[in-house]
Chain A
Amino acid sequence: MFDDVKYLKFKSYLNTYCPHCRNSFNVERKDQKYLVYKAIYKEQEIELKLSPFLDVFEVESSVPIDINDKLTDLLCPKCKKSLIVEEPVCGECGSPVAEMIITAFSKLIPFFICLNHGCTWHGLTKADQNKIKLKIPRQEMPEQDMKLRAANHTEVPYGYTTELAQLEAGRCLQCKEPKCVKGCPVNIDIPTFIRLITEEKIDEAAKKIKERNVLPAVCGRVCPQESQCEALCILGLRDKPVGIGNLERFVADFERKMDLVKVPIISNKLNKKIAVVGSGPSGLTVAADLVQLGYSVTIFEALHESGGVLVYGIPEFRLPKSIVSFEVDYLKKMGVRVEMNHVIGKTITIDELLQHFNAVFIGVGAGLPVFMNIPGETLGNVFSANEYLTRMNLMKAYKFPEYDTPKPRGNRVVVIGGGNVAMDSARTAIRTGAAEVTIVYRRSRQELPARHEEVRHAEEEGVKFMLLTSPVRYLGTDQAMLKGMECIRMQLGAPDSSGRRRPVPIENSNFIINCDIAVVAIGNSSNPIIFQSAQDIKRNKWGYIEVNPETNETSKEFVYSGGDIVTGSATVIQAMGAGRIAANAMHNKLSAT
């Protein structure tokens, strides 16, 4: 018995189930390391033994089976029903296959075995593979426990393990005309980098992403993929789209943790200098692209730490500072100079920069907070989200007195707004010990502009949501400190010509919320400082810079711009896309002069 031994290179999965009875036909004794199937061979019932051994199934049969002979049936050991399926068939030899359900990474997944004993590859046709792929559920990243994480500033998702990443990558249909690439503002070759993950070539996947994106670890974490690349993923029509953002993050983290990042050697040095104002996503992209072309690049940053909104705006638990500093260090290693504490417009003007540099890129973002202009906004402890997050996050007020920034005193925090910045502020307040944190938003849950994931995280961590509510004034103590907020209930009006239902106050529905800290997170606009000494840079009525969309050049020659200071608040990857357009145009223009 079991004298014919054959090794089949399957990935090893220890638990196997019948698709009919769903009973496990795993080894019955714990010390046994093999599965026994009943099979029909030449009209005779035989036994097949499969022993998982590392990543190989060792197959033995009770009678010798000739190579290229086919089993005519394979039966479930429990319900005795046939496991043969009519479709799909083996992609290698066209033979029938048997379907089993296996568990891999806690998920049930169909798995097929070719019944041709001589077939060395038990694969399936591409169409059949795709049918199977559709059955693999989207793999979510493991996360910190919600109670634990509400008391620390460590990142919430742990990221994919290699196994989870490969399983998720295996869902990609590898479309011939991938729509996801069109959804990506910098057109990353998404199917190729995902294929490289399935082939366990993670370092090559990282290279593929970096051809188009210099900040993959950042984008993998904070870009709203659900409204960009993943929104166009064909799998999303039937099920959930491929976790492109999660995979991008996995690749970038893998490369960093395994020390695979290689700094390119730049041999072609040009005698031309570029000034980049602001070290946010657009500025870093311009710097990376141009330094690799041989330009001498200097970044001017107003704050004491580089990264722009990535470090002052996005909290540690969503984007660790170490990741941003790693990316900036990578640029420094390529030769980019970074000058901190330089407020362009005050310390140096744009005209002065143009005397020393061949071209200037303005990527200062939209850093001026917008307030609602309601009574009481000047009371103590009414903060803009910018100030609140900069204090708590960048200046580490939560570590006071270890750090010099004092934490605002207050236990009942209200956050006005429903975007990602509002969620970041609320979740920061929870982590810094506030007893009660409430988001006050004028519209309904459906209109919340924050990412679903951020809303879910906030709710899990204990943030309350007061929807269809708008503040109308702040109330203060005798010492002009906040003690409450008068609000009014709202209702959504009839759709207007644009189809949007706008919030309208319900008369006499006013009520008071007791609170001692209010954080206004309703949006940002352009900071006018830089323009006080550069009136010749044309702006629109919102204060954003007007550029030629083909080149991102401003009305002032040799001055380019991109990112939030041109478009208003947008995504990291859109800012990077704008930086890339500007870098290309700067290179073209400077090459011709």
Chain B
Amino acid sequence: MNNFSTVDEILDFAMDAEQKAVDFYIDLGEKMKNEEMKSVFIEFAQEEVKHKARLMKIKEERIFEMSAEKIADLKISDYVDTIQITPEMSYQTALIVAMNREKAAFKLYTRLSAKTDLPGLKDMFLSLAQEESKHKLRFEIEYDEYILREN
């Protein structure tokens, strides 16, 4: 795991992670058999592009706000079984892929924040973790609303 000494290093790392997510979704989209799922993954990739742009703005303006807002965690991704990525994935599986990626990112930033004592860096990691938990919540709400509709 990388050792970070400045906020810029963290932001570069986070932007790189977002770019990897963009590439991942575009690659996944290309593998899909049907057009609807292709566009689902392109939509996910576009969301990651927006996340990256937000980080870039923070880096340029050197302003970020630590929100006191507590992000709900529905913990849906904690209980779903591992899934196989195939060219015939359903939207339900796509949501699980997305929830798991956001959860992994959230966990990574939370771990990194615990490892540093420098206040500026800690806040940045926590802020990134909070951002990732927001992204996860967006997918969890969709899963809760449509997949677990009668549950």
Task: Enumerate chain A interface residues (CB-CB to B < 8 A).
Answer: 370, 372-375, 377, 416-419, 421-422, 441-442, 449, 470, 472-473, 488, 493-494, 496, 502-505, 521-523, 525, 528, 531, 535, 538-543, 569
Q: How far is the CA of A4 from the CA of B66 in the complex (A)?
A: 95
Q: Given A422-B150, A470-B151, A522-B150, are A502 and B81 also a contact pair (CB < 8 Å)?
A: no
Mask, B22-52, CB within 8 Å of A = 1, is 0000000000001111011000000000000
On whether the beta carbons of B81 and A504 are closer than 8 Å, the reply is: no
Residue of B nearest to A419 (CB): B150
Q: How far is the CA of A503 from the CA of B141 in the complex (A)?
A: 10
List chain A residues, Cβ under 8 A from B149.
419, 449, 522-523, 569
B68 at the interface (CB under 8 A from A): no
B85 at the interface (CB under 8 A from A): no
On whether the beta carbons of A502 and B36 are closer than 8 Å, the reply is: no
B75 at the interface (CB under 8 A from A): yes
Q: How far is the CA of A418 from the CA of B36 in the complex (A)?
A: 30
Mask, B70-98, CB within 8 Å of A = 1, is 00111100111101000010111100100
Q: Given A374-B80, A472-B79, are A449 and B150 also a contact pair (CB < 8 Å)?
A: yes
Q: How far in angstroms is the closest Cβ of chain A from B68?
A: 14
Q: How far is the CA of A473 from the CA of B79 in the complex (A)?
A: 8
Size band of the interface chain B makes with A = 20 to 34
List chain B residues, Cβ under 8 A from A416.
151
Q: How far is the CA of A502 from the CA of B137 in the complex (A)?
A: 11
On whether the beta carbons of A421 and B75 are closer than 8 Å, the reply is: no
Residue of B nearest to A440 (CB): B151
Q: How far is the CA of A528 from the CA of B81 in the complex (A)?
A: 23
Residue of B nearest to A542 (CB): B91
B147 at the interface (CB under 8 A from A): yes
The B105-151 residues at the A interface (CB cut-off 8 A) are: 141, 144, 146-151
On whether the beta carbons of B81 and A542 are closer than 8 Å, the reply is: no
Q: Which of A375, A421, A522 contacts B81 (CB 8 A)?
A: A375
List chain B residues, Cβ under 8 A from A535.
34-35
List chain A residues, Cβ under 8 A from B72.
493-494, 496, 502, 504
List chain A residues, Cβ under 8 A from B74.
493, 502-504
Q: 10 A-B pairs, CB-CB below 8 angstroms?
A: A370-B147, A374-B79, A377-B81, A502-B74, A522-B148, A523-B150, A525-B90, A538-B35, A541-B39, A543-B36
Residue of B nearest to A507 (CB): B75
List chain A residues, Cβ under 8 A from B83.
373
Q: How far is the CA of A442 from the CA of B78 in the complex (A)?
A: 15
Q: How far in angstroms is the closest Cβ of chain B from A414?
A: 13
Query: Which of A370, A375, A441 has most B Cβ within 10 Å?
Result: A370
List chain A residues, Cβ under 8 A from B92.
370, 373, 525
Q: How far in angstroms is the closest Cβ of chain A from B144?
A: 6
List chain B residues, Cβ under 8 A from A472.
79
On whether the beta carbons of A523 and B151 are closer than 8 Å, the reply is: yes
Q: How far is the CA of A94 from the CA of B72 in the complex (A)?
A: 67
List chain B residues, Cβ under 8 A from A542.
91, 146
Please give me the 3 A-B residue pairs with the lowest Cβ-Cβ distance, nearest first. A419-B150, A522-B151, A523-B149
Q: How far is the CA of A504 from the CA of B137 in the complex (A)?
A: 12
On whether the beta carbons of A372 and B36 are closer than 8 Å, the reply is: no
Apart from A473-B79, A522-B151: 5 A-B pairs, beta carbons within 8 A: A522-B147, A522-B150, A523-B148, A539-B34, A543-B90
Q: Given A494-B72, A504-B75, A540-B36, are A372 and B141 also a contact pair (CB < 8 Å)?
A: no
